[in-house]
Chains A and B, each alone.
Chain A
Amino acid sequence: MQTDAGPVAVIHGSLTAADILGAWKARWGIGRMSYIVPPGLYAIGEPDRDAPVLVTANYKMSYDLVRREMRNRNVWLLVLETYGINVWCAAGKGTFGTGEVVRRVESSGLSHIVRHRRLILPVMGAAGVKAIEVKKRSGFEVVFATLRIEDLPAYLDNGMQAAREMRELTFSFRERLVLTPIEIIDGMKSCLFAGLPLSLLAGFSTGVFSIARFLTALLLYLVAVLSGTVLTPLLLPLLPGRMFSVKGAAAGAVCSLACISILDGVTTVGRLDGAAALLVMTVVSAFYAMNFTGSTPYTSPSGVRREMQRSLPVMAGAVFADLIVIVTGMFLS
């Protein structure tokens, strides 16, 4: 559409099958770092000079969620260059930041397009955007609206007043579930440099290479990865301990005991083999559970540092003990 600052692209609020597939692929880590839209100003519906201006990141999933919630409305959407990173992570890095807001307001000619001087930002953007400085440098007032895009329609209809629950983070089962695919993918990558060598070692532990032992060990490793990347996030509030590594270790230990008892029904599991499996699976699950701290909205960097200082030495010790158990098993056989 034509504006006083030149043409502005008009976008629609309805998501197509390709958009939904794209979001699904991004969740599984397929092309996630290039799932982007060009930064700049967009028109949703037919916004006029008084229509609200919403600001988001150029990660296509963020942009898609905003336009879906804004379907049947007339708003301006200012997309910042965050290099395909979501609002929160980009705010942490500073790309969803004061400088980029000011730059994008200027380059889009926004002050010629709207009469008011107000930008509506997601609350999670506040970690990167200093509202009073944006006002000073661009003349635009920054309003931090809601945490979740889904609450934006109610916020706008409610005279731009956010209810308490719109400003408080949650971490529901569903919110944890959608984060697990990318954790699985990252966890599986570790099979190459940790799971495979350990399984090969276990395969050779009777002196001659046993394919059955190798495959069993690899399978147990995969179960441990799933315990740390899926089971622990899903059961997070139910697992014991505050530290994620403790929660993950608990889940991993239970999984390994379950696996050992199943295997024991098929064949006889030696004591050393059982001990080795229990140690490895507990440590692997604990490690991936600890990794999940990066995906939650309540773990502080100081806390993660403290957790790593306490957990990593224990994990390293357990891995060392495990290697001793496996090698001892070799000599005994």
Chain B
Amino acid sequence: MKGFIYLPGVATLELDQDICVGCGICSGVCPHLILEMHGPKAAIRNRDECMECGACALNCPVKAITVDAGVGCASGMINRWLAGFNIRFRRDDSCC
């Protein structure tokens, strides 16, 4: 995304070009335009820009894309971590 890039070398996005059938759906759903068509196959332009929303992997008809998708929210992670210790806060005002 223009002007913004988060931590490098952590995104879990993977594309298996041997499986890819070149339908182009992934390039239409990626909100950071990371997946591009290079001839008959899709290609990852810059993995570090991936926010792991999972739209490409979900919509790929042949499962050529994998990504460990989830909610990238620190408070959500802290709450889940605390819940592991059976500490819970009432968070009815949280969005994600």
**A89 to B32 alpha-carbon distance, docked (Å):** 17
> Which residues in A have their C-beta under 8 angstroms from that of B50?
300
* A308 engages B52 (CB within 8 Å): no
**A79 to B64 alpha-carbon distance, docked (Å):** 31
* A85 engages B95 (CB within 8 Å): yes
* A144 engages B11 (CB within 8 Å): no
**A308 to B54 alpha-carbon distance, docked (Å):** 21
* A301 engages B31 (CB within 8 Å): no
* B8 engages A242 (CB within 8 Å): yes
* A86 engages B95 (CB within 8 Å): yes
> Which residues in A have their C-beta under 8 angstroms from that of B31?
123-124, 147, 167-169, 297
Most A CB within 10 A of own CB, among B58, B71, B74, B92: B74
Q: How would residues 63 to 96 of chain B score, 1 for a CB under 8 Å from any chain A CB and 0 otherwise? A: 0000011111111111000000000000011011
Selected from A126, A168, A294, the residue in CB contact (under 8 A) with B74 is: A294
> Which residues in B have their C-beta under 8 angstroms from that of A127?
53-55, 58, 69
Selected from B1, B52, B59, the residue in CB contact (under 8 A) with A130 is: B59
* B96 engages A237 (CB within 8 Å): no
Instruction: Describe A's contact surface by its main secondary structure.
Output: helix
> Which residues in A have their C-beta under 8 angstroms from that of B53?
91-92, 124, 126-127
Min CB distance A160 to B, Å, is: 12
Asked whether any CB of chain B lies closer than 8 Å to the CB of A2, the reply is no
**A159 to B87 alpha-carbon distance, docked (Å):** 53
**A132 to B8 alpha-carbon distance, docked (Å):** 32
* B1 engages A304 (CB within 8 Å): no
Q: How would residues 8 to 30 of chain B score, 1 for a CB under 8 Å from any chain A CB and 0 otherwise? A: 10111000000000000100110
* A164 engages B33 (CB within 8 Å): yes
Within 8 A of B (CB), among A216-245: 236-237, 242-243
Q: How would residues 24 to 59 of chain B score, 1 for a CB under 8 Å from any chain A CB and 0 otherwise? A: 010011011100000000000000011111110011
Within 8 A of B (CB), among A101-145: 123-124, 126-132, 144
**A102 to B9 alpha-carbon distance, docked (Å):** 37
* A304 engages B58 (CB within 8 Å): no
Q: How would residues 79 to 107 of chain A score, 1 for a CB under 8 Å from any chain B CB and 0 otherwise? A: 00000011001011100000000000000
Known: A242-B7, A303-B72. A298 touches B49 (CB 8 A): yes
Asked whether any CB of chain B lies closer than 8 Å to the CB of A256, the reply is no
* B71 engages A92 (CB within 8 Å): yes
* B96 engages A294 (CB within 8 Å): yes
* A291 engages B29 (CB within 8 Å): no
Min CB distance B16 to A, Å, is: 18
Min CB distance B2 to A, Å, is: 7
Asked whether any CB of chain B lies closer than 8 Å to the CB of A72, the reply is no
Selected from A33, A164, A293, the residue in CB contact (under 8 A) with B92 is: A33
Selected from B5, B12, B33, B96, the residue in CB contact (under 8 A) with A168 is: B33
Can you name the residue of chain B whose Cβ is closest to the Cβ of A30?
Answer: B93
Most A CB within 10 A of own CB, among B2, B25, B58, B68: B58
17 A-B residue pairs with CB within 8 Å: A29-B93, A32-B93, A89-B95, A91-B53, A92-B53, A93-B71, A127-B69, A128-B58, A132-B25, A167-B33, A169-B1, A169-B31, A300-B52, A301-B52, A301-B72, A302-B52, A307-B74
Q: A92-B70, A124-B53 are in contact. List 10 more A-B contacts (CB 8 A).
A: A33-B93, A92-B53, A92-B71, A131-B25, A297-B51, A298-B1, A302-B68, A304-B73, A307-B7, A308-B77
Lowest 3 CB-CB distances: which A-B pairs, in order?
Answer: A294-B73, A126-B55, A126-B29
